[in-house]
């Protein structure tokens, strides 16, 4: 049943997109009074067909495309000049009508995402409130005085209700001071924060964005214990998870620091310690330690740190292993930037896929330096589209480093709000697909990333299992891809037909029959080559990924 369902999902996914594209050509041809001989969804042997008026409608065996066959589409098509419909041919239509007919298919594929995403956004949804879960030490948020538990009410006088809104504003405000109003324990406080201008690796290129250094979620109370600290002397170890301080239960880093601030003299700290007894298998044990609390605040009172940026695992045969990084090491800077959290380390390390990055880390109290990158996939891994593995892991099986979920807020999008959201999303999809297509010829986006029918089938089945919203969102993105690809000036694609019509408008005569025949053969050859590459990539992913 699973394979049959996947086949149905794929047929719907491709069938709808192909029908939308060809319907654009069909209705444009009808508007231009060009005779449509056949409307086909799919290629190859006919599955079924029917005729209505002058047009035959059919579904063919292979739903990898479709076509609208118009009278006189090619210069060598035989047309009865004595017929009353001899002036209803494609090539006999004015150049601007041919441009519209060719453009209508891609335009239909750009209208489809608006409609699909409208239904994705319409109705109720749930998002997280803009309440601060944790603040990264040394970050702009920490410097501004933001604290865990603060609820951000407005930014520069504009009210915000979700963490998504907060993230978008911060991301677009690098090096720009923002005026915040926060609810802190029922009282409004005014703060000013300037998001840092940081580099991050997007889907295809390095980008700059603003980073405040806050997280939606609170971190579990997991310790990092430096060598020679009071915490180590008392018997505490890195990755210990604190569950009690002086008999009071502790869940998060915020609760742990508050408990340590209240401690006087010796603090009794109970932890769960996870011992690795086999690869991927850990065993918990309870440990009670008594630590002399000193001056300072929070974890500094016992000489400890947050354990989130400590290395739990180093995978063999990886760059990290080759550099000598060990379990329990802590990164202090990546690419010249000080890092305090897992998020900061991983964001900076992602840049090593594009260029050389300098690293500084502490191991057994000693500072080490090294460099890595650019990290390129090797061998069959290049087909898997998975990021190259530097080789370190933060957190572990059984260790609750998973963030604690924040508060949620229910949102309602009516028709107007849903349409506005879908219209806003379309340009983002166009820019993303456009960048990918523009970087394929230069190799910045490798040919191995191209996908064919098997990858589309996988996307269709996976998103269908996730729900209708995911399925429609995936269809919307592929529809944008189909539109832009068809606008490329490759013979037999819509973009080339538009180019030919414009050429005729400028030169006042169409290209010669010989030129048309040559470009048609060239177009088939280029598309055949691209399909071979796509099929090769699909098969390689099945075998190696």
Catalytic residue flag (residue 199)? no
Task: Note the residue count of the chain.
Answer: 545
Distance CA 476, CA 20 (A): 12
Residue 4: DSSP 8-state: H
Number of H helices, E strands in the chain: 13, 24
- Give me the phi and psi of 150, to 5 degrees please: -65, 135
Name the nearest CA neighbour of 155 among 217, 218, 219, 214. 214
DSSP E strand stretches across 202-263: 206-211, 214-215, 223-224, 241-245, 248-249
Whether the Cβ atoms of residue 148 and residue 218 lie closer than 8 Å to each other? yes
Distance CA 106, CA 20 (A): 9
Distance CA 545, CA 381 (A): 7
Name the nearest CA neighbour of 217 among 159, 164, 154, 149. 149
Name the nearest CA neighbour of 191 among 128, 261, 135, 254. 135
DSSP E strand stretches across 279-407: 281-292, 305-306, 313-314, 330-334, 337-338, 357-363, 366-372, 392-393
Whether the Cβ atoms of residue 335 and residue 358 lie closer than 8 Å to each other? yes
Name the nearest CA neighbour of 211 among 175, 182, 179, 254. 175
Name the nearest CA neighbour of 215 among 404, 397, 411, 350. 404
The pair of three-digit structure tokens given for residue 534, joined into one six-digit string: 């796509």
Residues labelled as active-site residues: 22
């Amino acid at each position: 049943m699973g394979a049959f369902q996947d086949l149905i999902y794929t047929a719907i996914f491709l069938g709808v997109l192909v029908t939308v594209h060809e319907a654009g050509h069909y209705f444009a041809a009808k508007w231009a009074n060009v005779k449509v001989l056949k409307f086909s969804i799919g290629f190859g042997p006919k599955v079924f067909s029917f005729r209505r008026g002058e047009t035959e409608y059919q579904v063919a065996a292979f739903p990898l495309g479709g076509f609208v066959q118009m009278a006189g589409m090619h210069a060598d098509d035989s047309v009865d000049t004595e017929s009353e419909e001899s002036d209803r041919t494609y090539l006999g239509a004015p150049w601007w009508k041919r441009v519209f007919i060719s453009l209508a298919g891609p335009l239909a594929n750009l209208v489809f995402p608006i409609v699909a995403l409208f239904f994705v956004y319409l109705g109720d949804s749930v998002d997280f409130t803009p309440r601060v879960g944790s603040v990264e030490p040394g970050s702009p948020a920490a410097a501004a005085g933001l604290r865990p538990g603060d609820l951000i009410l407005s930014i520069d006088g504009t009210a915000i209700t979700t963490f998504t809104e907060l993230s978008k504003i911060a991301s677009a405000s690098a090096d720009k001071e923002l005026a915040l109003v926060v609810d802190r324990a029922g009282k409004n406080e005014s703060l000013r924060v300037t998001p840092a201008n940081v580099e991050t690796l997007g889907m295809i290129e390095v980008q700059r964005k603003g980073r405040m250094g806050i997280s939606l979620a609170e971190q579990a109370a997991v310790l990092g214990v430096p060598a020679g600290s009071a915490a180590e002397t008392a018997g505490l170890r890195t990755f210990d998870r604190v569950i009690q301080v002086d008999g009071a239960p502790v869940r998060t880093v915020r609760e742990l620091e508050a408990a340590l601030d209240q401690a006087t003299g010796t603090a009794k700290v109970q932890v769960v310690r996870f011992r690795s007894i086999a690869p991927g298998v850990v065993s918990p044990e309870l440990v009670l330690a008594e630590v002399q609390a000193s001056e300072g605040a929070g974890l500094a009172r016992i000489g400890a740190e947050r354990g989130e940026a400590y290395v739990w695992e180093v995978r063999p045969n990886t760059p990290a292993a080759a550099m000598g990084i060990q379990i329990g090491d802590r990164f202090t800077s990546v690419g010249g930037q000080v890092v305090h959290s897992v998020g900061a380390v991983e964001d900076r390390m992602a840049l090593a896929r594009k260029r050389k990055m300098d690293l500084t880390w502490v191991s057994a109290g000693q500072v080490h330096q090294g460099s890595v990158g650019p990290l390129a996939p090797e061998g069959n891994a290049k087909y898997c589209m998975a990021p190259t593995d530097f080789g370190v892991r933060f957190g572990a099986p059984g260790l609750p480093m998973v963030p604690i979920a924040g508060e949620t807020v229910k949102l309602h999008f009516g028709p107007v709000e849903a349409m506005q959201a879908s219209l806003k999303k379309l340009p983002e999809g166009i820019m993303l697909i456009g960048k990918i297509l523009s970087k394929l010829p230069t190799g910045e986006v490798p040919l191995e990333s191209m996908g064919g029918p098997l990858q589309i089938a996988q996307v269709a089945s996976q998103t269908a299992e996730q729900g209708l919203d995911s399925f429609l969102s995936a269809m919307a993105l592929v529809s944008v891809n189909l539109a832009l690809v068809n606008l490329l000036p490759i013979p037999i694609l819509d973009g080339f037909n538009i180019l030919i019509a414009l050429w005729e408008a400028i030169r006042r005569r169409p290209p010669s029959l010989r030129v048309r025949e040559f470009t048609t053969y060239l177009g088939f050859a280029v598309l055949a080559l691209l399909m071979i590459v796509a099929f090769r990539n699909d098969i390689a992913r099945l075998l190696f990924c």
